[in-house]
A and B are shown apart, each in its own frame.
Chain A
Amino acid sequence: GIQVEQSPPDLILQEGANSTLRCNFSDSVNNLQWFHQNPWGQLINLFYIPSGTKQNGRLSATTVATERYSLLYISSSQTTDSGVYFCAVELMDSNYQLIWGAGTKLIIKP
């Protein structure tokens, strides 16, 4: 089956730093979503990005579907950015199931 790999697994940064999180997937996909899970468990959808580039404030994402990867950029990190970032892909003919990566745990220190 499809493999979804995220890197790095863990990242510790000082407030104000920039970071890039990567998601590689091993097969063609219908769509890709990025999520942030805060330390209390709430999952927030950041981007729905099957291809191209999108920006939302300090966050942006780029998916290159032909090369099977997506990048999430976080600029000027804040402590509230801490948590786990997941990417999830939907396969073609998948019966709606998202395949999730293992996540990147981000800690922003004040």
Chain B
Amino acid sequence: DTEVTQTPKHLVMGMTNKKSLKCEQHMGHRAMYWYKQKAKKPPELMFVYSYEKLSINESVPSRFSPECPNSSLLNLHLHALQPEDSALYLCASSWLATDTQYFGPGTRLTVL
């Protein structure tokens, strides 16, 4: 099973809302990632959890906060987002942090 699942598929939220994106993998991978992808651009790494340690892209604003409840789950909590945060949010996992990355189908987020 090489599947990474993400929920929801689509999300529309206002700038004052709080919401969460969820990602799950059952491949026993030890590294999980959140990426943001704008139209016609490559994915940009936001966060990496590897061996239960969080690494952050320093340019990611604090209105995004990751949470890793266990080695199979990765959440992304959203609060007070801006319209420019509208994008496709992709979750990925890999056995080790330097291995092949497997991506979920993504969540299309629209911030009004």
Contact = CB atoms under 8 A, between A and B. Distances in A.
Contact of A90 (B50, B92, B98): B98
Nearest to B103: A43
Q: Say whether chain A's binding surface is mostly helix, strand, loop, or mixed.
A: strand
A95 B55 contact: yes
Q: Which of B48, B90, B103 has the most CB of A within 10 A?
A: B103
Size range of the chain B interface in the assembly: 20 to 34
A103 interface: yes
B42 interface: yes
Contacts of A41: 37, 88, 90, 105-106, 108
A26 interface: no
A78 B101 CA distance: 25
Given A30-B98, A31-B98, A96-B50, A45 B103 contact: yes
A97 interface: yes
Interface in A41-81: 41-45, 48
A102 interface: yes
Closest 9 interchain pairs by CB? A100-B42, A96-B97, A43-B103, A48-B100, A41-B106, A45-B100, A96-B48, A42-B105, A97-B45
Interface of A: 30-31, 33, 35, 40-45, 48, 86, 88, 90, 95-98, 100-103
